[in-house]
Amino acid sequence: MQNAESELLEAARKKFSKYRKLLAENGEEKAWESMLEGFPELQKQRMGPLLALPTLIEGFRQSIPIFNAIGMDMVAMDISNGGIDAALEIQKVCPYLEVCREFGFDIPCHVICELDMEASHRAFPEMKGEILSRQALGSPVCIFKYERPAKSRQKP
């Protein structure tokens, strides 16, 4: 677990460093788009198999061990209702809070979570994502809501 967490933090440092450099060279809009280059395709590779499952909660539950291995302490909750397949991803630990400050950012949300949300939306346009709660802003947990039209059940 320690190795996975160290790798996550090193990858975060690289991401913050790259964003800081792009921001200084090109400004916010170009830095943001540069960070997104190739990211939706990566999200498709990472998330595609999980999102291909019949419901979001099935995919999110399968990802819990991955998030927990990197020290995030994840819980997933099914909130599907009214023809909408929906899930909450609740992260009890944000490993990015300290790393972001090394690069002069007050909060990690824009460079990490908002970027992930945008890449996910571009990769899976039928899915909506929203950040409902952020530890960086004083909440006890980070909460992400994902929803998409419910898949119709196939009859045997």
CA dist., res. 70 & res. 142, Å (int): 15
DSSP state of 81: B
CATH (residue range 2-149): 3.30.1380
The structure's pTM equals 0.90
Q: Which secondary structure element, helix H or strand E, spans residue 117, and what is its range?
A: helix 115-123
Residue spans of the domains in the chain: they are: 2-149
pLDDT score for 6: 83
Q: What is the largest CA-CA distance in the chain?
A: 58
- pLDDT tens, residue by residue, 1-17: 567 778 888 999 999 99
- Residue 7: exposed, middle, or buried by beta-carbon count in 10 A (0-12, 13-18, 19+)? exposed
pLDDT in tens, 106-115: 999 999 999 9
